[in-house]
Amino acid sequence: MADITLTRDERRTLSVLAFLFFRMGLEERAGRIYEALEELSEPESSDWRFAKAGQAAVAVEKGDGEAALAAVNAALKSGALSSKEATLHLIKAQALWLQGRKAEAEQARNQFLHLAGNRMKDDAR
């Protein structure tokens, strides 16, 4: 981790900026911000997982299933996930699909649907 410490507002601002760049199709810029967020976050924290998920999403968008899978697997192995992080399984499904690993992609998609379904039930309460 770098010697720089970001405030909560600075982390949020960078996260929003990375997401906006990604949505605008500026994957290179988004990827650089996600890499910086990873470097400036406590390893295996929720901020770190968010940065890894962003890197994985950028890699999927670029068609790089191998890089996407490496990033999403790192995020998935980083400890207990909240139900809000179910999308990691969807990104994993996309990465596996890009690699032609269709059966594994379907399993990851089903895991996402299971977790997302449970989350939606919890949100409805």
Mean pLDDT, rounded, for 2-18 = 87
Q: Per the structure block, which two tokens stand in for 79?
A: 């400890």
Q: How does residue 118 score in pLDDT terms, banded at 50, 70 and 90?
A: low
How far apart are alpha carbons 75 and 81 in whole angstroms?
9
- pTM of the full predicted structure? 0.83
In order of their start, the domains of the chain are: 8-124 (1.25.40.10)
Residue 125: its pLDDT value, please?
A: 45
N-to-C CA span, the chain? 39
CA distances from 53 to 14, 30, 89, 124 (A): 14, 12, 10, 26
Mean pLDDT, rounded, for 3-11 = 85
Residue 120 has pLDDT above 70, yes or no: no
Mapping DSSP to helix (H, G, I), strand (E, B) and coil, where does residue 65 land? helix
Phi, psi of 63 (to 5 degrees): 85, 15
Q: Determine how many CB atoms are found less than 10 A away from the CB of residue 49.
A: 22
Q: Contact, 86 vs 53, CB < 8 A?
A: no
Q: How does residue 124 score in pLDDT terms, banded at 50, 70 and 90?
A: very low
Computed over every residue of the chain, the mean pLDDT equals 88
Residue 14: its pLDDT value, please?
A: 93
Q: HSE (CB half, 13 Å, CA atoms) of 30?
A: 23
